[in-house]
Structure 1
């Protein structure tokens, strides 16, 4: 799956899980932009990902983790193990 499509699916899934409509994001994005993100037509900036996550009450990494899980068809535990290992190797230096 393409990265922008995976992000769109993750965004839609998280938004719906929180019981939010696209209109509830209008303080940070238009409904059109939300629709384009969810359909994988646009790529958000890091700032936008943070704003969207804040509206949903989740950490931005929750959204990105689900995105990469969908993109690579990966287990979330495997993603966390890899991230933990990579961060530990940087901190050991």
Structure 2
């Protein structure tokens, strides 16, 4: 989803409301970037948009709400209210803690290479295994692939079989 046009409109409006000319903006390269953005001729990183918002003395979240509102045909206030509801639900489900857990001393914590495992899927597989379901039944119940079920089936030091179709805890 490109927001080039919406970013252009928002930056133009903010700059006009703030009565800032290009000459009032810090740094030549930033002026060039803002000019290209206001003509919808360039994309922008979130880091750069954050820098531009600071130069304009405008809140980044409000800027993004303006752009999303323009894109979706909604008022920015409605966008922010929906975001607040989503944030509250995310926090209530423990998501905010999980996000904070990704940082250690201000640095991104490392994770293993490859696709992250889906803990909820693993928990569901192991719960069904504990109920005595076969791997084939788990595949059917959860709609996961045979290889995914097999991988989770063997996890956490399980003594169970990795061969689909055998009962939980049976010996190979």
Flag whether TM exceeds 0.5 (same fold).
yes
CA distance in 1, matches of 2:12, 2:76: 18
Q: Which moved more, 1:34-43 or 1:17-26?
A: 17-26
Q: Which has the larger radius of gyration?
A: 2
Q: Where in structure 2 are there 5+ consecutive unaligned residues?
A: 94-172
Q: Where in structure 1 are there 5+ consecutive unaligned residues?
A: none
Q: Which moved more, 1:82-91 or 1:22-31?
A: 22-31
Retained in 1: the 8 A contact 2:26–2:55? Answer: no
Structure richer in helix, relative to its length: 1
CA distance in 2, matches of 1:22, 1:5: 19
Aligned length: 92
Retained in 2: the 8 A contact 1:28–1:51? Answer: no
1:17 aligned partner: 17
User: What is the root-mean-square deviation of aligned Cα atoms in Å?
Assistant: 1.7
Structure 1 residue 28, shift from structure 2 partner: 7.0
Q: Which protein, 1 or 2, shows the higher relative CO under an 8 Å CA cutoff with sep ≥ 6?
A: 1
* 1:69 and 2:75 matched: no
CA distance in 2, matches of 1:78, 1:34: 27
TM-score, normalised with respect to structure 2: 0.49
CA distance in 2, matches of 1:33, 1:4: 13
